[in-house]
Structure 1
């Protein structure tokens, strides 16, 4: 199934954000749930193998947009030989974008591709978090491949691909985490830091933090410790 979501955020009177475009088709609906917040709502079970979803976000100068989902996404294989399911998020940001979906759970036999491509103006801000769990309780893991590319004023800040699950080149026991969480932030710098199965690396005017483990809840806790650390100028 083909799914398309489009949201445009624009600066309005009195510092408010208006949303002149909020529309969706396919497996997702989109609802405005706050002054500058939208939630994506699944209208069908899945995603299933072969499904293709694209989320297009435009945040104009002076506007703010937060994008959330109402529930975890459970990725299932299609019958027979199952192709991957795909979700692409394409963002053009001149204002501020906060992107945090509920976890993606990839079941046995499924393969999901998640792609984020964010193009930022020079003064734009971005925070984007990915949460992944391979397999449900007592189930063998599926496979997840995530690619993140962030550009500021046409210059790449980050371009990385992570592959998890059976068949992924770097997923070899004992280094085979079933849970993964990562946040990329562009707007304020944080220094390099490490924790138990977690690391934060600096970017130009930003940072990226990653944590991994067997279960998602403690993995998110380790990520949160790195996200809440003091800014560079306070930590030195």
Structure 2
């Protein structure tokens, strides 16, 4: 299934944010849930292997946008073959973007690829969080590959790829984590901070934090309380 989502946030009269473009097709619908916030709503189960989704977000200067989802996504294997499912988030930000969807659960036999490409103007603010759980309860893990690219004012700021699950180069059971969470923030600097199975590293005028473990709720708590 092909899914396309587009949201544009613009500074309106009196400095409030208006959303002149809010549209979705395929597997995701978009609902405005606040003055400057939207939720992504799944209209079909999945994603399934072979599905292709692109979420395009534009936040113009002086505008703010918060993007959430209403429930966890469960990535399932393709009905035929071993094709991955793909979700790309492409963001152009001159204002402030807060992107925090619910977790992605990757079922046994599935391979899900998540990509975030953010192009930031000077002075833009970005917060983007990813939460992943490999396998449902009592199930062997699936595979997840996440790539984050951030360019600010024309200069590369962050480019990283993380691969988890069977077939990933760094996957070394039995110590490999089934749960993973990360946040990248640009707009306020922070120094190095470490905790058990969690770390925050500085970026220019920002930071990136990651946490990992066996249980997603513990990983998310470490990310939000210990290092973020």
Per-residue deviation, residues 110-165 of structure 1 (Å, max 9, x unmatched): 00000000000001000000000000010000000000000101101100000000
| Contact 2:179/2:216 (8 A) holds in 1 | yes
The secondary structure found in structure 1 opposite 2:175 is coil
Give the equivalent residue in structure 2 for 1:217. Answer: 217
Distance 2:152 2:175 in 1: 33
Deviation at 1:80, TM superposition (A): 3.0
Cross-structure match for 1:52: 52
- The residue number in structure 2 matching 1:128 is 128
SS in 2 for 1:79: coil
CA RMSD of aligned residues (A): 0.8
Mapping of residues 1-236 of structure 1, within 5 Å: 1-228=1-228
How far 1:227 moved relative to its partner? 4.6
Aligned counterparts of 1:97 and 1:140: Cα–Cα separation in 2: 35
Structure 1 spans left out of the alignment, 5+ residues: 229-236
**How many angstroms apart in 2 are the aligned matches of 1:102 and 1:223?**
15
Q: Secondary structure at the match of 1:81?
A: coil
Unaligned segments of structure 2, at least 5 residues: none
C-alpha separation in 2, matches of 1:50 and 1:89 = 17
- TM-score normalised by structure 2 residue count: 0.98
Preserved CA contact (<8 Å) 2:193 2:227:
no
Could you tell me the TM-score, scaled by structure 1's length? 0.95
Aligned length, in residue pairs: 228
How far 1:79 sits from its partner (Å)?
A: 1.7
